[in-house]
Amino acid sequence: MPPPFAVPRTLETSSPLHAPAPHESGLKHASGEALYVDDLPSPPGTLVGHIIASPHAHARLVRHDAARARALPGVHAVLFAEDIPGENDIGPVIHDEPLLAEGEVHCVGQAVALVLAESAALCREAARRVELEYEVLPALLSIREAVAANAFLSEPHTIRRGEPEAALATAPVRIEGECMTGAQDHFYLETQAALAVLEEDGALRIWSSTQHPSEVQAKVAEVMGLGRHQVVVEVPRMGGGFGGKETQAAPFAALAALGATRTRRPVKVWLNRDQDMVQTGKRHPFWTRFEAGFSEDGHLLGLKAELISDGGWSNDLSRAILDRALFHMDNAYFLPNVQVTGRVARTNFASNTAFRGFGGPQGMYVVEEVLNRGAERLGLDPAELRRRNFYREAPAHRTHYEQPVEGNRLPRIHAELMASSEYTRRRAEIDQFNASSRWTKRGIGYQPVKFGISFTTSFLNQAGALAVIYADGSVQLNHGGTEMGQGLHTKMRAVCAHELGVSIDRVRVMNTATDKVPNTSATAASSGSDLNGQAVKAACETLRERLRPIAARLLQVERGEAEGLAFASGQVFYPARPQRSVSFAEVTQAAYLAQVSLSATGYYRTPDISYDRVAGRGKPFHYFAFGAAVVEVEISSLTGEHRVRRVDILHDVGNSLVPSIDRGQVEGGFVQGLGWLTNEEVLFDEKGRLLTHSPDTYKIPALGDVPEEFRVALLQHAPQEDTIHGSKAVGEPPFMLAIGVVTALRHAIAAFAPPRTEVHLASPATPEAILRAVEAARATPR
């Protein structure tokens, strides 16, 4: 296998593209100089905005009286729904989510009032003095309860192909059952934060920790009854997002805006960890019932599944998340006869929201559960069973929604990874180990991933950039994407420096701001580099073409030769005569004197995508990203604890823009998936109150949970057509590689049971879930 991160350098050696590099803010992170919203210098007079949240899962708000709170010195205002000048709504797609409760509360943690005071302690004291009278109403506290009450937030969405009923009726091996996947808290290390400052004419400037500044701008404008031109939203950087700051940063920014306008003082709203975990939505839990039919040799002949997600109390992005779950029900496998139906249930929990993978992991989990049960029943190696079901050449290469699976790299990835991970040898060794080990068993799992890249709401696939060159040749780059740690700015800076042929330290990536690049989409759906990269490239190309004739004049090259001028290493030169060059700064200075504009916008929209939701047919994705993992675990039958011994990943990011950044996304995504599937357990009490509202009780992976051996490689020589410099998206797909942990755990658990026993392992696979599965396996009659 080639060395994993040494990408062949086919371009000019001075280009930062396709070469490993540190994170653009790495040293600032490590020195504490990197600023997040809560670190920005507060303007004089800044007030603290404190949210009074509902203590009930469902209740009528009968009476509210804040007179005693307002009387407290240092308290500037206590605001309720009636104090909102514009529309009391913060729903991103469907207008079903009041910013402050009106008459009724629908979950614990829903915002009821906003206290504005000179300190957090004063806010708390004021909040204690606000009199709120509730009449508690019955609440829906599980998907099953919601289904029983016929409480839904969407109509069913069905995708169907072939004749699943007939296929199931004749399949030699039938499996039916149900599975649940749980919620997951984003646990970004930086909690939700916003700072709002009132400017002239009622305009607002807002610093927000958000993945979607344009939506924050739009929602603030609606809530305040302003035009969007009167609201500027700026994002310095985020201390993690993972989807949790796509829609759900907006309410806190809007409350800060409301407070700033009402008190005419700057207002900061910052949630502490417990508030953040209680008040914000999580990854959607899914409950699925399925029927599947296999041939004796492990082909999945027919599949019917009904997926119900827990949307929480309002829509948020639940429908799109459900759609993506349905789109990924196939994962890497050709399903000739299939019907998948999905619906969003309404419950009395915080509204669930985007989270890395956006429904993809939940959909994929279902088919992987089906395949695992099939492999166990048939006594087949689950990796081989998966390979047999892979998408193949045309015509069996169309998804269940009829998008061709073009550029399918899974057969290649599968072959390379099986060899490099020595899967077959290790599986045999593990079986030997298990035969001689009484209390401890090992397991190995294989997980391929195919993930569709694009927003499935097609119009969102657009991006803009604004590149500014100063006369001294230094560059400011603005683009519509936000930096949440994923390294987007590092990549965009590399693209810009490459196009202009300057070194990266001559390019400064500016804070994302709605007054620089308007009408942007969220930095989400793994699309940040794909979309913004093309926009940055377009802006820089425009500028380079403007500079070309200037440089030609300075170099006194023939007019016909101007087209061939190279921009590299901070110089402009004719490649045939590299010894004669002019510096980029000389060219820009000359351009300035020649009255040439040195700023330009760039714009990009993804071509050729569309989806007909009614028919369940179309091409929602620009392309597919691929990857695969082999995972080895060990479990204890005494405590149910497990350890991941080794992980091998081979992942397809096309020709990586910055391989070191992509490796970080692959590793981080995998470990986050590992958390979702093992120890991250979101639990509520019988009144709908979150029990796991801090890291004391909610356990994301710690350093000791990561694989002892973690071998990650990027697929080499894999340029993707029609993308930014041949690269592919990476943010979400690796998350789902972690499902291989489940397959490995099942292998280990099955070692306690007679052959061909189906394992019953709940998700997340906590020590208790594993111990229960082991006890059930042991109890299987031989």
Partner 1 sequence: MDRLRFYLNDRLIEESALSPTLTLLRYLRDRAHLMGTKEGCAEGDCGACTVAVLEQDGKGAPVLRAINSCLLLLPMVQGKRVYTVESLKEAGKPHKVQEVLAQGLGSQCGYCTPGVAMALLEACHRKDMDEPWKWDAQMCGNLCRCTGYRPIREAVVSVAGLGPRDRFAKALSETRPESMALAYTAGAQRFFTPASFQELWDVLDAHPEARFVVGGTDLSLEVTKRFTEPPLLVSLEALPALRTLEPRNGGHRLGAAVWLTDLEDYAHATCPPLERMLRYFGARQIKNRATVGGNLCTASPIGDLAPVLISLGAEAVLLSRAGERRMALEDFFVDYRRTALRPGELLAAVDVPAQPVGARSLAYKVSKRRELDISAVSAGFRVVVDAAGQVLEARLAYGGMGPRPARARHVEQALVGQPWTEERVEAALPRLDEDFTPRTDHRGSAWYRAQVAKNLLRGFFQETLESPSPRLEARHSATVQVR
Site for partner 1 in 223-262 (CB under 8 A): 237-242
Positions in 266-285 near partner 1 (CB under 8 A): 272-274
Shortest reach from residue 713's CB to partner 1, in Å: 13
351-410 residues in contact with partner 1 (CB under 8 A) are: none
CA-nearest of 196, 199, 201 to 217 is: 196
| CA dihedral (614, 617, 623, 629) positive or negative | positive
Interface with partner 1 (CB under 8 A), residue from 30, 62, 396, 594: 30
Residue 482 Cβ vs partner 1, minimum distance, rounded to whole Å: 11
Question: Active site residue: 190, 376, 732, 758, which one?
Answer: 732
CA angle, 659 then 662 then 663, to 5°: 85
Task: State the DSSP string of 131-176.
Answer: EEEEEE-----SHHHHHHTT-BSS--EEEEES-HHHHHHH-SEEEE
190 binds partner 1 (CB under 8 A): yes
Q: Which range in 91-99, 133-141, 339-347, 664-672 contacts partner 1 by CB under 8 A?
A: 664-672
182 binds partner 1 (CB under 8 A): no
Contact with partner 1 (CB under 8 A): which of 503, 575, 694, 719? 694
What is the length of the chain? Answer: 782
Cβ contact 635:749 at 8 Å: yes
CB closer to partner 1, 188 vs 401: 188
Pick out residues in 34-53 that bind partner 1 (CB under 8 A): 34-36, 38-39
DSSP-assigned states of every residue in 608-641: S-EEETTTTEEE--SEEEEEEEEEEEEEETTT--
Task: From 254-262, 331-339, 516-524, 678-686, give the range in contact with partner 1 by CB under 8 A.
Answer: 678-686
Identity of the residue, 317 or 658, whose beta carbon is nearer to partner 1 in the bound complex: 658
697 contributes a contact to partner 1 by CB under 8 A? yes
Residues 105-144, one symbol each (x = binds partner 1 by CB under 8 A, - = not), give ----------------x--x--------------------
Query: For partner 1, how many residues bind (rule: CB under 8 A)?
Result: 88
Among the listed residues 33, 133, 165, 722, the single contact to partner 1 using CB under 8 A: 33
Binding test (CB under 8 A) with partner 1, winner from 17, 18, 25, 453: 25
Measured from the CB atom, is 341 or 437 closer to partner 1? 437
What's the rounded Cα separation, in Å, for the pair 451 and 403? 13
Instruction: For residue 481, give the nearest of 473, 491, 472 by alpha carbon.
Output: 491
Work out whether 189 is an interface residue with partner 1 (CB under 8 A): yes
C-beta closer to partner 1: residue 440 or 542: 440
Among positions 149-178, residues that touch partner 1 (CB under 8 A) are none
> Residue 566 and residue 589: Cα distance in Å, rounded?
18
31 makes contact with partner 1 (CB under 8 A): yes
Residue 90, number of CB atoms within 10 A of its CB: 28
Please report whether residue 646 would count as binding partner 1 according to CB under 8 A. no
Neighbours of 417 (CB within 10 A): 26
Window 401 to 430, contacts with partner 1 (CB under 8 A): none
The one segment of 295-303, 539-547, 617-625, 635-643 that binds partner 1 by CB under 8 A: 635-643
> CB of 647: closest distance to partner 1 in angstroms?
10
Spatial neighbors of 206 by CB under 8 A, at least 6 apart, are 194, 195, 196, 197, 216, 217, 220, 231, 232, 233, 234, 253, 256, 257
Contacting partner 1 (CB under 8 A), which of 44, 73, 393, 438? Answer: 438
> Could you tell me the smallest distance in angstroms from the CB atom of residue 469 to partner 1?
28
Q: Which tokens in the block code for residue 697?
A: 């009780």
- Least Cβ distance, residue 36 to partner 1 (angstroms): 7
Q: By CB under 8 A, tell whether 187 contacts partner 1.
A: yes
Q: Which of 487, 528, 602, 688 binds partner 1 (CB under 8 A)?
A: 487
Residue 338 has φ and ψ, to the nearest 5°, of -150, 145
Cβ atoms 690, 277 nearer than 8 A? yes
For residue 755 the two structure tokens come to 């052959």
Strands 512-513, 231-235: pairing kind: antiparallel
**Measured in whole angstroms, how far is the alpha carbon of residue 719 from the centre of its chain?**
24
* Residue number, 602 or 669, with CB nearest to partner 1: 669
DSSP 514-558: TTTS-SPPPS-TT-HHHHHHHHHHHHHHHHHHHHHHHHHHHHT--
Minimum Å gap between C-beta 108 and partner 1 is 16
632 is catalytic: no
- In DSSP terms, which residues pair with 441 in a beta bridge? 635
The least CB distance from residue 483 to partner 1, in Å, is 8
For partner 1, the closer CB: 214 or 434: 434
β-pairing verdict for 571-574 and 566-568: antiparallel
Nearest-CA neighbor of 746 among 736, 757, 734, 733? 757
Which one, 434 or 532, has the nearer CB to partner 1?
434
Q: Which residues contact 124 (CB under 8 A, 6 or more apart)?
A: 50
What token pair was written down for 466? Answer: 């604004």
d(CA 318, CA 305): 18
Gyration radius of the chain over CA positions: 27
Binding mask 442-481 for partner 1 (x = CB under 8 A): ----------------------------------------
Candidate list 7, 16, 23, 489; residue touching partner 1; CB under 8 A = 23
**Three-state DSSP class for 94?**
coil
Asked if 667 interacts with partner 1 (CB under 8 A), we say yes
Single out the segment in contact with partner 1 by CB under 8 A; choices: 74-82, 247-255, 660-668, 749-757: 660-668
Cβ partners under 8 Å of residue 108, min gap 6: 53, 54, 55, 56, 57, 278, 349, 350, 687, 688, 689, 690
Q: Which is nearer to partner 1, 213 or 374 (CB)?
A: 213
Under rule CB under 8 A, residue 663 binds partner 1: yes
Judged by CB under 8 A, the residue of 49, 374, 533, 701 near partner 1 is 701
Residue 529 CB, shortest distance to partner 1, in Å, is 15
Q: Closest distance between partner 1 and the C-beta of residue 17, in Å?
A: 17
Question: Binding of partner 1 at residue 26 (CB under 8 A)?
Answer: yes
**Token digits of residue 37:** 């919203």
Active site residues: 732
